[in-house]
Structure 1
Amino acid sequence: MASPELVLLLLLTALPPLWPSSLPRLDTAEGKATIAGLILSALERATFFLEERLPEINLDGVVGFRVLEGQLRSVQAQWAQDPLLQPLSLRVGTLAAKLESLLQRSIFYLKLSDPEYLRDASLVYPTFEPEDSFSEDSSDSCLVELLGTRYDSGQPCGLSDSCRALMTRPGCSAYCLSHQLLFFLWAQMKGCTEGLFHRSQHYIDLFCANMMDLNRRAEAIGYAYPTRDIFMENIMFCGMGGFLDFYKLRWLEAILSWQKAQEGCFGKPDVKDEELSKAIQYQQHFLRRVKRREKQFTDGCSTHNTATAVAALGGFLYVLAEYPPANAAPQPSTLSPPSSH
């Protein structure tokens, strides 16, 4: 029997070439409405998953849906002005209202399951652990320091020497990189501008350039399962940072294909081939990924996979709402509105 290493190598070398998206064109009103409908259907199924598993969903899962709720509110307001998209606007509004109710209920369960984590961390994501071990606890502490949510009533925009070194450390990858980006995104949202934070945009540009490279590598190897979560997280965070080139139609098509049809969640694919399963296990071990707060269900559903997926899809929907009309001749491969410059 072939070794997992050999199987993985064969899988990577036998992948088909990259093809453009088979989704409808965006330069017609019908194409735009069709794609919006596909995204909405996926989000409705994911919200059903949230509703069904609400007592078991952890904070990481809730955060992605909270981001989605905000995106839906913006989309609803935009589409209400377009006669062709008004029916979709009603669907968006209904979904946003349902999410608002579910997220309010989720607080009760989160307080029961992990009250300390809910109180202290606010927004904490899993991390990549290379050989020199990027410390998730240290990263969490830096976010708490930045937000000013310490027990001793710390002020926002705090930055210790250790956090400065950690959050600007070069050469980070995967979840280490996303933690660094999240830190500077939150610094901008909090209005931190002094000292290092004066260069926040520089670091955001730098990190998203590297995250784009990681996403292209994930695409080049056929979106192997262990790469999907960080792939979607990169779209989520860099999309929040305003990098519209992450909204590629072929990437949207890939994400939509990963949703479990029956459960509505995102997570581990149904792998029947034993050799492929071993290759995935080997790659997971090689990546040394640590998900301290991950919630994996027996049916393969993942709270974090689902959270990053819905936030990424919500970003696609938000950008689609801003997409120019047919006579604006947009680029067909990327959901990018025309520049305002």
Structure 2
Amino acid sequence: MYLLLIVGLVLFANGTNGLLGDVKEALDNVLNFVNQRMDQFGFDGYFGIVLAQTQLQMILELQIKFDDIKDIKYFIQKCQSILNKAKFFLPLNPPYMILFETKLLDSHKWFRSLIKNVTFGEITNLGQYMEWSPERILKNKRAIYKGVETNFCLREILELTTGDTCYVSTICKDMMTNTSRMDTGYLLTHRLLYIQIKRLEGCIVPEDPVPIKEYTRLFCSYILKEAKTNEYLKFPYHDIFMEQVLLCGMEGFAEFLNKPWLETIIKWQNPQGCFESVSKEFQNIQKRSSHLVDFGCSDHSTGLGAAVLALFLKCLFLQ
């Protein structure tokens, strides 16, 4: 059962019908792009396809028109076709990538785990970082804390889960669940993803006194501040913004699911259907570090684009 608070209805009060067609077309284009270039994509890109498929599966639980049902089933089948072929292109090394692929590339598992309600007003509006510059956003690209990458902690929780209890090392406890520290960039979004994976795995950490919902509210309050700063600076970094919208939007925080942001993301899509990680205006000050595919696009950004479009499609059907 879905809940959309009345306050949230203003997000798409006008132009919903036209947007619905635009989002469907954009989603079809990005899925076609991926399907035609399977050998160019890695785990990051396919993870976005899994999350897109999850959002599409959620739409089928809603009361929608027959023609829309056909469209959604078509998109789901297209995602599944991509994922069926992905196993032939995903790397076997390093060994932990097999663990990531086995445990995280499963839309049915994510479907059972993700929040289905969309609500407004549960997170705190902290404004924006007034002193930030585009360079400040663009250089903040490493998900690392005290010399340890966040992937170490994601791997740890996937490898060492026994029953409903997950092992969390001291460094990962400090990196991922220390609520007294306010991080930014990919370190912050990966902290949110870590919490989402804990929920996905059914992890209970006995010594952790903070409920998962409180983590997501806190992290998405910080993330909203950064997303608004990115917007204020004319969106220099597309990739981090789409990751922020996706992860917090999946938590049902309607502040991330507004019409202007959707229209902006659709405009970022290349004519070929893919997404670049950095705005063309700022590419001269940022060397893109993500895996590149055709037309200067990023596999990570393109996967995010697919997932974000599917997320907004679900939001439009909730109106």
Fold conserved between structures, TM > 0.5: yes
The amino acid that maps onto 1:256 is: I
Counterpart of 2:232 (choices 201, 210, 220) is: 220
Deviation (angstroms), 1:319: 1.7
Match of residue 297 from structure 1: 293
C-alpha contact (below 8 Å) 1:121/1:140 kept by paired residues: no
RMSD of Structure 2 on Structure 1 (CA): 2.8
The amino acid that maps onto 1:315 is: L
Report Cα offsets for 1:278-321 as digits up to 9, x if no partner.
Answer: x5332x26xxx8x4xx3213521110111111111111111222
Report Cα offsets for 1:101-129 as digits up to 9, x if no partner.
Answer: 111111111146x46253133459xx833
C-alpha contact (below 8 Å) 2:42/2:91 kept by paired residues: no
Larger Rg: 1
Would the alpha carbon gap of residues 116 and 183 (structure 1) be closer, same or farther in structure 2, given more than 3 Å must change? same
C-alpha contact (below 8 Å) 1:128/1:173 kept by paired residues: no
Counterpart of 1:237 (choices 238, 243, 247) is: 247
Paired residues for 1:19-58 under 5 Å = 26-27=12-13, 31-58=15-42
Match of residue 191 from structure 1: 202
| 3-state SS, counterpart of residue 62 of structure 1 | helix
Counterpart-to-counterpart distance in 1, 2:312 and 2:59: 10
Match of residue 63 from structure 1: 47
| 3-state SS, counterpart of residue 196 of structure 1 | coil
Match of residue 176 from structure 1: 187
Match of residue 312 from structure 2: 316
Match of residue 142 from structure 2: 129
Report Cα offsets for 1:18-41 as digits up to 9, x if no partner.
Answer: xxxxxxx9447xx43322111110
TM-score (norm 1): 0.71
Counterpart of 1:281 (choices 274, 284, 300) is: 284
Would the alpha carbon gap of residues 269 and 185 (structure 1) be closer, same or farther in structure 2, given more than 3 Å must change? closer
| 3-state SS, counterpart of residue 195 of structure 1 | coil
Match of residue 303 from structure 2: 307
Pairs aligned (count) = 270
C-alpha contact (below 8 Å) 2:30/2:305 kept by paired residues: no
Would the alpha carbon gap of residues 231 and 76 (structure 1) be closer, same or farther in structure 2, given more than 3 Å must change? same
Deviation (angstroms), 1:270: 8.5
Counterpart-to-counterpart distance in 1, 2:59 and 2:146: 37
Match of residue 331 from structure 1: none
Counterpart-to-counterpart distance in 2, 1:320 and 1:136: 42
Deviation (angstroms), 1:154: 5.6
Counterpart-to-counterpart distance in 2, 1:230 and 1:202: 22
Within the alignment, does 1:267 sit opposite 2:276 as a pair?
A: yes
Counterpart-to-counterpart distance in 1, 2:249 and 2:23: 16
Identity between Structure 1 and Structure 2 (%): 28
Counterpart-to-counterpart distance in 2, 1:237 and 1:96: 20
C-alpha contact (below 8 Å) 1:37/1:88 kept by paired residues: no
The amino acid that maps onto 1:305 is: S
C-alpha contact (below 8 Å) 2:40/2:293 kept by paired residues: no
Report Cα offsets for 1:250-302 as digits up to 9, x if no partner.
Answer: 000000000001x210015785xxxx5xx5332x26xxx8x4xx321352111
C-alpha contact (below 8 Å) 2:189/2:247 kept by paired residues: yes
Within the alignment, does 1:100 sit opposite 2:96 as a pair?
A: no
Which range moved further: 313-322 or 196-205? 196-205
Match of residue 120 from structure 1: 99
The amino acid that maps onto 1:180 is: R
Match of residue 117 from structure 2: none
C-alpha contact (below 8 Å) 1:36/1:320 kept by paired residues: yes
Report Cα offsets for 1:316-338 as digits up to 9, x if no partner.
Answer: 11122222xxxxxxxxxxxxxxx
Counterpart-to-counterpart distance in 1, 2:13 and 2:225: 28
Counterpart-to-counterpart distance in 1, 2:162 and 2:293: 37
| 3-state SS, counterpart of residue 118 of structure 1 | helix
Report Cα offsets for 1:200-257 as digits up to 9, x if no partner.
Answer: 2222211100110011001111112xx2111110111111222121001000000000
The amino acid that maps onto 2:52 is: L
Counterpart-to-counterpart distance in 2, 1:197 and 1:159: 14
Match of residue 326 from structure 1: none
TM-score (norm 2): 0.76
C-alpha contact (below 8 Å) 1:146/1:158 kept by paired residues: yes
Which range moved further: 163-172 or 137-146? 137-146
